[in-house]
Structure 1
Amino acid sequence: MNIKPPLMDLPIETSESGFYSGFSKSVSIYSKIIIAILVMWAIVFPEQAGRILSTVNSFILANTAYWYVWIIALFLIVCFTLAIIPATGKLRLGVDGDEPEFSDFSWFAMMFGAAIGVGMLTWAVAEPVYHFKNNPEVIAGLVEGSTAENVRNAYKWSNLHWGFGAWACYGLVGMSLAFFTYRRGLPLTMRSSLTPLFGKALSGPLGSLIDIVSVVATILGVAQALGFGVEQFVAGLTRIGITGLLTESGTANTLGIIIALVIIMGAATASALSGVGKGIKLLSNMNMILSFFLLAFFLIFGSTFFGLQALFFGIWDYIAALPQLMFDVFRSDGVEGSVATKLEGWQGSWSVFYWAWWIAFAPFVGLFLARISKGRSIREFVLGAIIIPSIMCFIWFSFAGGTAIDLTLNGGAGDTIFSVPDGDKIFAMVVYMLGDSLGWIMSLLIVVLLLTYLVTTADSAVLIVNTINAAGDEGPKARPHIYFWGIALGAVVGALLIAGGTGSGGGLKAIQTAMVIGAFPFSIVMVLQCFALVKAVVNDSKRVKEGVQSTMDDVVATPTK
């Protein structure tokens, strides 16, 4: 016998009594210390924090473009290859007899709501509008911005950032965790996904370090999404008649930020206390229904034909250009103001930033995906967690953003939509389309939908952080820890928004900066996950041929002499 059974026992030391009973002290305490230091630093020394974070962020973005662009391509190749190969695609994320816990609708609703729903309401309108005005083709002088000839380019770049590459980040982490947790019986925590590379060493400090990096990346990645959501939520409250929450520049002021966070995090903490099967499932189903209603509104009353064209040509252009887009890195020629320098700056501000965001979001979404995907095959997982969500994003961008572009180009909207802050663009559009009275009703619906997305994202993040801190225990967690992480997540968002300044997007810039920095260490973990997962799948095929145990419920064949 040339190959041994895989590691199926990874003990992680947890406290047996006291406040941290059932939790890994090393992961829980150090994670809390890091987050607490960040919050206090941002509050007590806002200018110093902003300056240092900005310097580190600039260094990372200037020197890691190749890394971020190419590892996203790696994640996409690994996920699709495993799904396409017949022998690996049919492998179940579980053992024989395991069936999915949730229906396809609830599975997709929870995944979409937690993963990307918040960003969709902001960027489904704002991003196509941005790229309609400026993108690499415009910078290179190949087409003029804000013209009909630039619409297809706008969607090609929007689809790149929200398409297969983004969801491959989530899919890779989710597939890895589900594979090792539900096939091997290992703890549902990030360190388990690297056992083929490091083995039992992950029971000690190395494993704790990996989990700490995952927790910090999760908090900062979710803070980024909540930061956008808070700005949009305050804009929505203003649209339905609640005044005094905005600065002169149209962004949320300190009062608006505090009110929004109290509402969002209070509801999220209450939902997290009820667990995945109750509060999160109910909210996810609700926001999916409301999302379909809003999408139907754009399909029926928006620029339908324009949206259909944007959808078809956008997907066509994106897929045709994907092999180049996934590997192409723009580099400056050292001349300030040159086309090459502008292209490098654009890619750093958009593509590299997005890849960092999705990577920071990946430990949270990936672990959540693993938690709700037990019993599904790898092929089914890739279809449901990468391909279908990408198509949903394409549809949203085409009809929501397409309506905004068409109303500006052909509908007489002028600067009504384009001139307002990003979070307010969707509200400005529906008010322009429907008038004040009906626009108020639709704005209220969007505010409710946004709140459900924000709460789903925040409460899922709290549960996931507690799962990592509890060494993969999926059961009920001690209430004080849920309260702590609910408050901590809100504090990170509030502290960075306020410390970064409430004008000209300064607060969001501070969150973005912290997020990019926090994402880099976890990007290394994800690359290691690629090699670990491929190694495990290849070795399992050898084990099956030789009659060696490969899953936790296999019967080991009697070796022949």
Structure 2
Amino acid sequence: MNLKPPLTELNIATANGGFYDGFTRTVAVTGKVIIGLLILWAVLFPDNAGSLLNSLNSAILTMFGSWYIYSSAFFVILCIALALIPASGRLRLGEPGDRPEFDNFSWFSMMFGAGIGVGMLTYATGEPMSHFKNNPDVIRGFVAGTSEETVRSAYEWSFLHWGLTPWACYALTGLSLAYFSYRRGLPLTIRSGLTSLFGARLSGPLGHVVDIVAVVATVLGVAQTLGYGVEQFIAGIARVSGSEWLMNDAGTASTLGIILSLVIIVGASTLSALSGVGKGIKWLSNINTVLSIFVLLFFLVFGSTLFSIAALFTGIADYLAALPSTLFTVWHTDGTETGDALAAWQGGWTIFYWAWWIAFAPFVGLFLARISRGRTIREYILGAMIIPAVVCFVWFALVGGTAIQLELSGQAQGAILGTGLSDQLYAVLAVMLSPGLATLMSLVIVVLLLTYLVTSVDSAVLIINTINAAGDEGPKARPHIVFWGSALALVVGALLIVGGLSAIQTAMIVGALPFSFVMVLMGLSLIKAIFMDNLRKRADIPRTVGTIETAEP
């Protein structure tokens, strides 16, 4: 085999002057056009948009449901293997002398706040409660819904969706980018993760397509998260202030409430994004980590502690025992009542989640890469995959377990089960506490949610601009930051007003599909790169950009 040093240059053309100075004009303009057309379509032709999105969603679930399941399983297995295998696990994301820029607390705070904090606040109560009523074990008649026997299966499925898989999607994307950027000196943009497969061809149209797909997936993935956050934010403000005009009779956010909350969230996010990662984002991430710990301690002390701890450990044990099977389980419609119900449940939950994590992966992955230089692959994967999954398990057990126990004991009398997803956490507090204390804790949740939302949006805006600028992490023109902050607000607002959360969910599943193929290729590219670098090590051939430059005559 004729071994050569790896590719260390990817010449991506960027504009030299003008409004798009420093940006890859093709990527930046095309991304803006696609998102702009989506907004106009949803606003001007809402019926057509809703109908076509639903048709596309049904087609994707039918044709690509198995693809989402198997590709996500591949991401989990690959990350675990790379961490455990010594030849890959000990490799450093950077030069041999590089060390982490951020301490572990700030690193974890930024990673968790940007990665999953908003959704966790919504689903830590809502998902265990939903699976407590219905899950595949209930559908197959193994247990009865809303019974004590259903608690274990409710947590097994909740932990599947919020455990290793989402963080494997994020970790793999970030690992690929960090490996090629910090070891090879390539631009910190999505296309760089494919260079061991396609080489210098990625500097042209092929690479532009990859980055455009990543930008669109990022906008739709963040829109999904922002949509849930907005609904819960408005529900909390309505609870705290008693302002009934913020909510509709159906229990969903009113149009005026949506507009007002988006102005607050995106305005704060844009200001934070203008300050950069090391200031606003780091500061907000540390705040929401402290508030998260406070909320967890509150539920640990005042919640259903023993019930929740039992749910935590039995849920983790059941999840890990079933993981080899559930990772690869695919249910198809077969004309039977049970088979069709299982397929519908998996499409509405598991496949929806896998698409959500994949759509979110270019944003969170690039952000993880941005803050993880100097760490080893093993350290990175353990920090970016295992620890956040355990924190999610603790959240779901303490918060969701308290909600379930309140219903099982009869204390809640349906007050939690009977309310919408976005309002369930506040309903738990209302059952647990006196009205005054419930209002105070609800206010804490609203503030925590706001910090998570701002952290997610401002991080996303910076990441989108990094992709558009061919991996340049330096400060960019303020109008581009303002544009993408406004675009996120308009996408969420338009789709929420037109079709509610289901419209955002459908758009996200459609947008995630192209990037799922990119992610699989990134995984294969990373395997090849690590394998070749180990061969180069044996042949004493330079493997990182610094050693290659030093070795040049």
Class of the TM-score when normalised by the shorter of the 2 chains:
over 0.9
Q: Which amino acid aligns with 2:256?
A: L
Is residue 510 of structure 2 the alignment partner of residue 517 of structure 1?
A: yes
Question: 2:545 aligns to what?
Answer: 552
Equivalent runs, 1:245-394 vs 2, <5 Å? 245-335=246-336, 338-394=337-393
C-alpha distance in 2, partners of 1:354/1:364? 16
Question: 1:210 aligns to what?
Answer: 210
Question: 2:86 aligns to what?
Answer: 86
Note if contact 2:542-2:551 (Cα within 8 Å) is conserved in structure 1. no
C-alpha distance in 1, partners of 2:63/2:88? 36
Which stretch of structure 1 is more off in the superposition, 411-420 or 248-257? Answer: 411-420
Question: 2:51 aligns to what?
Answer: 51
C-alpha distance in 2, partners of 1:558/1:234? 59
Displacement of 1:333: 1.3
Note if contact 2:91-2:376 (Cα within 8 Å) is conserved in structure 1. yes
Note if contact 2:5-2:548 (Cα within 8 Å) is conserved in structure 1. no
Displacement of 1:2: 2.3
Question: 2:528 aligns to what?
Answer: 535
Note if contact 1:548-1:557 (Cα within 8 Å) is conserved in structure 2. no
Note if contact 2:359-2:508 (Cα within 8 Å) is conserved in structure 1. yes
C-alpha distance in 2, partners of 1:557/1:224? 46
Equivalent runs, 1:46-125 vs 2, <5 Å? 46-125=46-125
Which stretch of structure 1 is more off in the superposition, 90-99 or 283-292? Answer: 90-99
Equivalent runs, 1:415-494 vs 2, <5 Å? 415-494=414-493
SS in 2 for 1:155: helix
C-alpha distance in 1, partners of 2:44/2:334? 40
Displacement of 1:547: 1.1
Note if contact 1:462-1:485 (Cα within 8 Å) is conserved in structure 2. yes
Q: Which amino acid aligns with 1:147?
A: S
C-alpha distance in 2, partners of 1:107/1:326? 29
Displacement of 1:65: 1.5
Q: Which amino acid aligns with 1:512?
A: Q
What is the TM-score when the length of structure 2 is the normalising length?
0.99
C-alpha distance in 2, partners of 1:186/1:28? 19
Question: 1:503 aligns to what?
Answer: none
Note if contact 1:109-1:288 (Cα within 8 Å) is conserved in structure 2. yes
Unaligned runs of 5+ in 2: none
Is residue 230 of structure 2 the alignment partner of residue 230 of structure 1?
A: yes
SS in 2 for 1:244: helix
C-alpha distance in 2, partners of 1:464/1:271? 13
Note if contact 1:548-1:556 (Cα within 8 Å) is conserved in structure 2. no
Percent sequence identity over aligned pairs:
60
C-alpha distance in 2, partners of 1:100/1:147? 48
Deviations 1:247-278 (A, max 9, x none): 00111010000000000000000000000000
C-alpha distance in 2, partners of 1:237/1:247? 14
SS in 1 for 2:149: helix
Note if contact 1:176-1:533 (Cα within 8 Å) is conserved in structure 2. yes
Displacement of 1:484: 0.4
SS in 1 for 2:413: coil
Which stretch of structure 1 is more off in the superposition, 87-96 or 546-555? Answer: 546-555
- Count, aligned residues: 551
Deviations 1:29-72 (A, max 9, x none): 00000000000000000010000011001100122121011111
Displacement of 1:499: 1.2
Question: 1:171 aligns to what?
Answer: 171
Note if contact 2:132-2:146 (Cα within 8 Å) is conserved in structure 1. yes
Deviations 1:288-336 (A, max 9, x none): 000000000000000000000000000000000000000111122134x
Question: 1:504 aligns to what?
Answer: none
Displacement of 1:557: 9.9
Note if contact 1:547-1:556 (Cα within 8 Å) is conserved in structure 2. no
Q: 1:8 to 1:298 in 2, by over 3 A?
A: same
Is residue 153 of structure 2 the alignment partner of residue 160 of structure 1?
A: no
Q: 1:556 to 1:444 in 2, by over 3 A?
A: closer
SS in 2 for 1:481: helix
C-alpha distance in 2, partners of 1:207/1:122? 36
Is residue 507 of structure 2 the alignment partner of residue 508 of structure 1?
A: no
C-alpha distance in 2, partners of 1:540/1:411? 61
Q: Which amino acid aligns with 2:20?
A: Y
Note if contact 1:14-1:24 (Cα within 8 Å) is conserved in structure 2. yes
Question: 2:129 aligns to what?
Answer: 129
C-alpha distance in 2, partners of 1:142/1:470? 53
What is the TM-score when the length of structure 1 is the normalising length?
0.97
Displacement of 1:243: 3.3
SS in 1 for 2:545: coil
C-alpha distance in 2, partners of 1:348/1:200? 39
Question: 2:144 aligns to what?
Answer: 144
SS in 2 for 1:157: helix
C-alpha distance in 2, partners of 1:543/1:551? 11
Q: Which amino acid aligns with 2:291?
A: L
Moved over 2 A (4+): 555-559
Q: Which amino acid aligns with 1:270?
A: L
SS in 2 for 1:8: coil
Note if contact 1:186-1:192 (Cα within 8 Å) is conserved in structure 2. yes
SS in 2 for 1:148: coil
C-alpha distance in 1, partners of 2:251/2:333? 34
Q: Which amino acid aligns with 1:354?
A: Y
Note if contact 2:133-2:145 (Cα within 8 Å) is conserved in structure 1. yes
Note if contact 1:118-1:450 (Cα within 8 Å) is conserved in structure 2. yes
Note if contact 2:187-2:470 (Cα within 8 Å) is conserved in structure 1. yes
Displacement of 1:415: 0.9
Displacement of 1:194: 0.1
Deviations 1:389-424 (A, max 9, x none): 000000000000000000000151111111111111
Displacement of 1:558: 8.3
Displacement of 1:527: 0.5
Note if contact 1:164-1:390 (Cα within 8 Å) is conserved in structure 2. yes
Unaligned runs of 5+ in 1: 501-506
Displacement of 1:554: 1.2
C-alpha distance in 2, partners of 1:555/1:154? 53
C-alpha distance in 2, partners of 1:474/1:193? 17
C-alpha distance in 1, partners of 2:549/2:508? 46
